[in-house]
Amino acid sequence: MRTPPQRGRRQGRTTSRELILGSARKLFAEHGYAATSLREIARDAGVDPAMVHHWFGGKEELFNACVELPADPAQVLGHVGELPAELRGEALLRALLTLWDSPAQPALLALLRNVTGSKAQAALIRQVLFKRMLALAMAGLPGSAAELERRGVLVASQMIGLMVARYLLRAEPLASAGHDELAALIAPVLQHYLTGPLPGTGSAVPGTGHG
Amino acid sequence: MRTPPQRGRRQGRTTSRELILGSARKLFAEHGYAATSLREIARDAGVDPAMVHHWFGGKEELFNACVELPADPAQVLGHVGELPAELRGEALLRALLTLWDSPAQPALLALLRNVTGSKAQAALIRQVLFKRMLALAMAGLPGSAAELERRGVLVASQMIGLMVARYLLRAEPLASAGHDELAALIAPVLQHYLTGPLPGTGSAVPGTGHG
């Protein structure tokens, strides 16, 4: 590790890193990931831009540090975006279940708790979830940006609800179901949201009732 | 309001009510609503059972006080259980949206935040959500208890995710969509979970891909 710049030893070291994180959280939440530059974050934090690179490397790493993501979205979901459209619902579900049923689970639960904490944190997580994670899973799907955004948020709504019900509320039989069972129950709905007919994009949803 | 029993004026008044609430929260969370009696709660709290009636009326009211429900589930959802099966998905969704887009919204958001707070609170909310609210909406639907439980938890997973995405994360376009638009997008999925073919209950879900 390189020698931290001055401003009072240990204390200055912690402080400049925390200052950068505070400014980054604020600006990412206010303006979004894409519209926020490392230079602006450095200016807001009152530090030299080189400090940001020193502590965090690049923008991606700084963002991940802000949200305390326990895994890199590109590693978890990158492969989903390379699959044919009709396989993505199940692949997305299985990728997230694999991640949640890993040693990362406590950190993910903490993240889920943060969603309900502060508004700024909710805005950050909205960025991660809707702009970055879903963009990876939906790369190359047909449809306008608006349609894909709508499909993405529907997918997210089902995924978030599943995670809350299974891991936070521990509601049975979802809590102890295996990945195959969950895939059979829920992947068709995710696939429907991803590529199925929605109002405004074609015909209505295929008949679903037997009652 | 009746005169509170003794044990030291105002202080005792607050204390006995709080003692009852504390015991009720603990026992409802541990044993569930059905298996917990007012007598057991009174014994655990070290008060006379008459005190429980005095402060809370009955078990239903005590339970609602424990969870701080901003509305009576029976009033919000009672009519859903009287509808034909094939109309319930949309009716359930509209009933919850009407409730959430009412002055009760701040209290509901607080409830949602509590889900992520303590384990005991999560257990209580699991009781409300899965045992009482869903039971109302699913009254009289065909299927075994196990099948209905599985269907109910799937319905809940989509509803919870929608509420988190729309009201907590404020993710567009869900956050500003009207009830008709949400009903068109999401009610078919709820209806599918309620009465459609699921693995283990018949054929697979009807084809959903167009990609």
pLDDT-based confidence at A201, cuts 50/70/90? Answer: low
Q: Which of A67, A109, A116, A159 to mutate to test the interface with B (most CBs of B within 10 A)?
A: A116
Domain assignment of residue A112, yes or no: yes
Quick one: B24 and B55 in the same domain? yes
- Would you state the pLDDT for residue A12? 53
- pLDDT surpasses 70 at A1: no
Quick one: B56 and B79 in the same domain? no
- Would you state the pLDDT for residue B9? 44
- pLDDT surpasses 50 at A203: no
Domain assignment of residue B181, yes or no: yes
What's the token pair of residue B166?
């729309």
Q: How far is CA B161 from the centre of its chain?
A: 14
A41-62 pLDDT, tens digit per residue, is: 999 999 999 999 999 888 888 8
Domain assignment of residue A204, yes or no: no
A6-27 pLDDT, tens digit per residue, is: 444 444 556 888 899 889 888 8
Out of A154, A171, A193, the one facing B126 most closely (by C-beta) is: A171
Quick one: A139 and A180 in the same domain? yes
- Would you state the pLDDT for residue A40? 94
Which residues have a Cβ under 8 Å from the Cβ of B56 and sit 6 or more positions away? B20, B62, B65
Domain assignment of residue B206, yes or no: no
CATH number of residue A54's parent domain: 1.10.10.60
B77: nearest Cα among B177, B151, B156: B156
Beta bridge partners of A30: none
Answer yes or no: do A211 and B169 touch at CB < 8 A. Answer: no
How many angstroms away from the CA of A5 is the closest CA of chain B? 38
Residue B39 backbone dihedrals phi, psi, to 5 degrees: -65, -45
- Of the three residues B67, B83, B103, the one that is the final residue of a domain is B67
Residues of the domain holding A191: 73-195
A129-186 pLDDT, tens digit per residue, is: 777 788 888 989 988 989 999 999 999 999 999 999 999 888 889 999 999 999 999 9
Nearest CA in chain B to A84: B211
- Would you state the pLDDT for residue B188? 96
- Would you state the pLDDT for residue A84? 94
Quick one: B137 and B33 in the same domain? no
Please tell me the total count of domains within chain A. 2
Please count the residue pairs, one from chain A and one from chain B, whose beta carbons lie less than 8 angstroms apart. 175
- Would you state the pLDDT for residue B193? 96
Domain assignment of residue A206, yes or no: no
Domain assignment of residue A58, yes or no: yes
Quick one: A117 and A13 in the same domain? no
How many angstroms away from the CA of A23 is the closest CA of chain B? 21
- Would you state the pLDDT for residue A101? 93
- What would the mean pLDDT of A197-209 be, rounded to a whole number? 56
Quick one: B174 and B155 in the same domain? yes
- Of the three residues B67, B89, B115, the one that is the final residue of a domain is B67
CATH number of residue B119's parent domain: 1.10.357
- What would the mean pLDDT of A56-75 be, rounded to a whole number? 82
Nearest CA in chain B to A143: B211
Quick one: A129 and A83 in the same domain? yes
- Would you state the pLDDT for residue A63? 83
Q: How far is CA B10 from the centre of its chain?
A: 33
Answer yes or no: do B168 and A116 touch at CB < 8 A. Answer: yes
- Spell out which residues of chain B touch residue A90, defining contact as CB-CB under 8 Å: none
**Whole-number Å distance between alpha carbons of A16 and A5:** 9
pLDDT in tens, chain B (211 residues): 444 444 444 445 568 888 998 898 888 877 877 788 999 999 999 999 999 999 988 888 888 888 777 788 888 888 999 999 999 999 999 999 999 999 888 888 877 776 666 666 777 777 777 777 888 889 899 889 889 999 999 999 999 999 999 998 888 899 999 999 999 999 999 999 999 999 876 433 443 333 3
- Of the three residues B20, B35, B67, the one that is the final residue of a domain is B67
Which residues have a Cβ under 8 Å from the Cβ of A155 and sit 6 or more positions away? A89, A92, A134, A137, A138, A190, A193, A194
- Would you state the pLDDT for residue B12? 53
- Would you state the pLDDT for residue B133? 83
Domain assignment of residue B62, yes or no: yes
Domain assignment of residue A202, yes or no: no
Quick one: A173 and A144 in the same domain? yes
Nearest CA in chain A to B109: A116
- Would you state the pLDDT for residue B175? 94
Quick one: B80 and B179 in the same domain? yes
Query: Looking at this protein, which amino acid is placed at residue B90?
Result: E
Quick one: A137 and A171 in the same domain? yes
Quick one: A110 and A175 in the same domain? yes
pLDDT-based confidence at A211, cuts 50/70/90? Answer: very low
Quick one: A100 and A36 in the same domain? no
